[in-house]
Amino acid sequence: MGGRRGTLSPTTPGCPPDTLGEIDYEGRLSNSGPRKSGRREIIVWRVKSLDAVSEVDERKSLRRSLGPLQLTLLGIGSTIGTGIFVLTAEAAQQAGPGMLVSFILAAFVCGIATLCYAEMSAMAPVSGAAYAYAYVSFGEFWAWAVGWALVLEYAITGSAVAVGWSGYFVGLLKSSVFHIVVPPSLANGPYAGGVINLPAVIISILVTLLLVRGTKESARVNALFVAVKVVVLAIFIALSLPLLHASNFHPFAPLGVSGIASASASIFFTFVGFDAVATAAEETREPQRNIPLGLFGALSVVTIIYVLVAIGVTGAYGSQPLFGPHGEYLSPGSLGLGKACESITASGTSGPLVCSQEALAFVLRQIGYPLFANLLGLVAFLALPSVILMMIYGQTRVFFVMSRDGLLPRALSRVHPRWQTPHIMTLGTGTAVTVAAAFLPVGRLAAIANSGTLFAFFMVSLAVLRLRRTDPQRVRPFRVAVVWIIAPLSAAGCVLLFLFLSTEAKLVLPVWSAIGLLIYISYGVRKSRMARRPEAR
């Protein structure tokens, strides 16, 4: 699959002007006969060669300024956030102490998906990550589908983190230090009887403006946030592990295996973001070496932290789910669970973990460390914006390359003359994140984000297999061992977790994909760079 084969165009000698060049599965150009009605016949299955992708990126590349340490910090910073600080309570309601297994299961699926990402990113170090991988493996249609699904992963995750940050911010203001109460109408969206989540709106806007200034500046701020988050989680682990009680782990799986699998599907959100490392390939020095290092480094650190935190939460305080008055199961975020927690709070008792909106700080207060609880709340307030930053960053880079390919208006890929960032797309993505954060709850946002993420991971797993068969001779700086086992296992893991998502989350992906298909048919299929200028692939 050479990069220069089949680069004829309708204006090339020997290629009559009334014929159309089609690109087949090997990325070659062939004559398809006369045009019909003066219009080009469109083949949406056209596949880019890896060489062509690299050539385009060299012509229109972003500044390469990120090294392995920055990539590792980027992965940690974009992963550790609302999931562990906020959604731990939801995991407890679904699986109880069994959420330990849920974290491990989610980490396993992410780990084998990381192997697939590492091979693809080292072989094709370009912006767009999963989108670009689908383009060179399965063609433009599936590339669009993956890119559109990544909108759910990045933008919706950014919104979820903004809502989670808002909860810590409001709690911090209400603490004994400040005694400031934010009116509920301005701290919650309509889902909770409010009007707008104003803190979430403000932080989304500030992060967007920071990203417009540039990658280098954003990476420096992210490095500081990462260090602070890791330190405070280490403090939590150090304070909670010595207070473990074996009785808190019994019953270990009150809702059975299905509860553990459901919790794993939900807290998969806590691992969303590590693929932002692969998305940053075009701005990375020595990407063939540094992308795999960044991926594995970030996932290893994050997994160890998550498991230790989950052990500390369960062992020191307890993580049993809360049931209704007749023993019925109460879903996380449901009205029934909200009323049950409200009743417990009104009685003056501390209540179970599942009723807390700031799970880790809550545990520290209950085990006798209120000062450190306030410190953790302050750190969450300071550090969670780094996750919003990385999600908007990843989203804009995906849209940047889609726009450059002509599937979205090319004006979106314009780079700011001073800051060298895709400022138009950054502002657009930031606006979408802000609107979603203003009106939707964190649990629903997280579940929706998971559906897009799992689809993207599934396609990357298949892309590795596809290229091993169609382009076996290509140099692979990083190769997945026993790929015919690892890649299918990764794909199966993604399907399994998707099936255990809530019904609402599972329905969002096909509906969202249908909307994207309409956009692709009405714009991208005609404006695609490969449709209009096959010679420029």
Is 26 part of any domain?
no
pLDDT at 463: 93
CA distance 324 to 70: 47
CA distance 281 to 219: 14
Is 446 part of any domain?
yes
Helix (H, G, I), strand (E, B) or coil at 419: coil
Is 118 part of any domain?
yes
Domain CATH for 283: 1.20.1740.10
Average pLDDT, the chain: 78
Q: What is the identity of the amino acid at 99? A: M
Identify which of 11-25, 237-251, 376-390, 502-516 has the greatest average pLDDT: 237-251
pLDDT at 70: 81
Q: Alpha helices of 65-178 — where are they, by DSSP H?
A: 68-79, 82-85, 88-95, 99-123, 130-137, 140-151, 157-174
Is 279 part of any domain?
yes
Does the pLDDT of residue 6 top 90, yes or no?
Answer: no
Number of domains present in the structure of the chain: 1
pLDDT at 25: 31
Is 49 part of any domain?
no
Span 166-183, average pLDDT: 79
Q: How confident is the model at residue 10 (pLDDT cuts 50, 70, 90)?
A: very low
pTM: 0.79
pLDDT at 222: 61
72-86, 152-166, 242-256, 523-537: segment of lowest average pLDDT: 523-537
Concatenating the DSSP letter of every residue in 356-416 gives: -SSHHHHHHHHTT-HHHHHHHHHHHHHHHHHHHHHHHHHHHHHHHHHHHTTSS-GGGGPPP
37-51, 271-285, 319-333: segment of lowest average pLDDT: 37-51
The answer to whether 377 and 172 are in contact (CB under 8 A) is yes
Domain limits for position 494: 64-536
Span 223-232, average pLDDT: 77
Burial class (CB in 10 A: 0-12, 13-18, 19+), 211: buried
CA distance 528 to 525: 6
Span 165-179, average pLDDT: 78
Does the pLDDT of residue 536 top 60, yes or no?
Answer: no
Does the pLDDT of residue 384 top 60, yes or no?
Answer: yes
CA distance 453 to 148: 11
CA distance 23 to 32: 10
Span 297-312, average pLDDT: 88
The CA-based dihedral angle spanning residues 45, 46, 49, 55, taken in that order and rounded to the nearest 10 degrees:
-130
pLDDT at 15: 38
Tokens of residue 246, six digits: 């074996």
pLDDT at 29: 35
Is 406 part of any domain?
yes
Span 384-395, average pLDDT: 79
159-163, 166-170, 278-282, 333-337: segment of lowest average pLDDT: 278-282
pLDDT digits (tens, 9 = 90+) for 67-103: 888 888 777 876 776 678 878 888 899 999 999 999 9
Residue, of 375 and 51, whose pLDDT is higher:
375
Is 19 part of any domain?
no
Is 12 part of any domain?
no
Does the pLDDT of residue 492 top 90, yes or no?
Answer: yes
